[in-house]
Amino acid sequence: MYEIEKRQERLVASRKEFFTVSLVGYTNAGKSTLMNALTEIDTFVEDKLFATLDTKTSVCRLENGKKVLVSDTVGFIQKLPHHLVSSFKATLEEARHADLLLHVADISSPLVHKQVEAVNAVLKELGCGNTPTIMVFNKIDALKDASIVPLLQSNFRDSIMLSAKTQEGIGGLKRKIREILEERFIDVELTCSPGSGKLIAYLHEHARILSSRFEEQRAIFRLLMDGKLIQKLRTLDDTVQIKDAVGTN
């Protein structure tokens, strides 16, 4: 019992501390395939913290070494029977708490426009209408008629076209995720004791360290960090000083 509670706690904590990405989209769009393409099985096995996560959440490592959590969700289908609506919504709970949504659509489907609209309507209804979203057009490898591409590109300006199957375009998606992640990061100067190992380890894991220097008995870091994690730093070391780096160059 104790172990389970502990695990549950760690699970909740890791979700709070990591940038979380949820895959949403029409059924058969390729969400699960994309999830596999984005995440590494090795990280899942190796990393004790993440070994406790359920199978539908896994770790994606971006080029800069930072980790984000990626969750798969069940697919949207058109004309869902009424009695299934509430259980369907429950499975999308994950998406409600996500920092970022990847809306996956099958570009090789003649119904792609309709499917995207249907999913957007459900997202709005779920209260995810304002969550940052990357539109991902999947299955470009299976696209027979490329004439649809310019239209989609102009309708969905920041969309990404890729193939989860051949992995073409996966790098571009990861870069886009990183861009969005860093947009949310705030720029701070942090001063702590050089002996504050826990805090410094946490910074390496969760922040982008722009510079570090040591002066007398202090370590000074310039960081980009998710604003919502700043409070956590004080619990790791109560002598830490944090100030906004804006204007200090």
Ligand X SMILES: Nc1nc2c(ncn2[C@@H]2O[C@H](COP(=O)(O)OP(=O)(O)O)[C@@H](O)[C@H]2O)c(=O)[nH]1
Q: What are the residues binding ligand X (CB under 6 A)?
A: 25, 27-33, 75, 138-139, 141-142, 163-165
Q: Which is nearer to ligand X, 71 or 138 (CB)?
A: 138
226 three-class SS: strand
Q: Are 242 and 188 in contact (CB under 8 A)?
A: yes
Q: How far is the CB of 103 from ligand X (least distance, A)?
A: 11
Q: Could you tell me if 70 and 58 are in contact, meaning their C-beta atoms sit under 8 angstroms apart?
A: yes
- Identity of the residue, 141 or 189, whose beta carbon is nearer to ligand X in the bound complex: 141
Q: Which does 206 bind (CB under 5 to 8 A by kind): ligand X, Mg ion, none?
A: none
Shortest distance, position 72 Cβ to ligand X, whole Å: 7
Measured CA angle at 57 (ends 83, 233), to 5 deg: 120
Structure token digits, residue 58: 């896994």
Report, in Å, the least distance between residue 28 CB and ligand X: 5
- Of 31 and 66, CB closest to Mg ion: 31
CB crowding 148-186: b at 16 or more within 10 Å, else e: beeebeeebeebbbbbbbeeebbeebbebbbebbeeebb
Positions in the binding site for Mg ion (CB under 5 A): 31-32
Which residue's C-beta sits nearest to ligand X?
30
- For the chain, helix (H) and strand (E) counts, in that order, are 11, 10
Q: Pick the closer one to ligand X by CB: 104 or 223.
A: 104
| Contact (CB, 8 A) for 95 and 104 | no
Which helix or strand (DSSP H or E) is residue 184 part of? none
Q: Which two tokens stand for residue 71?
A: 């969750």
Least distance to Mg ion, CB of residue 151, Å: 27
Work out what residue 141 binds among Mg ion, ligand X, none; the CB cut-off runs from 5 to 8 Å by kind. Answer: ligand X
Question: Which DSSP helix (H) or strand (E) runs through 157?
Answer: none
Q: Which residue is nearest to Mg ion (CB)?
A: 32
Give me the least distance between CB of 135 and ligand X, in Å please. Answer: 15
**In this complex, which beta carbon is closest to Mg ion, that of residue 30 or of residue 229?**
30
Q: How far is the CB of 63 from ligand X (least distance, A)?
A: 21
The listed partner (ligand X, Mg ion, none) that binds 174, CB under 5 to 8 Å by sort, is: none
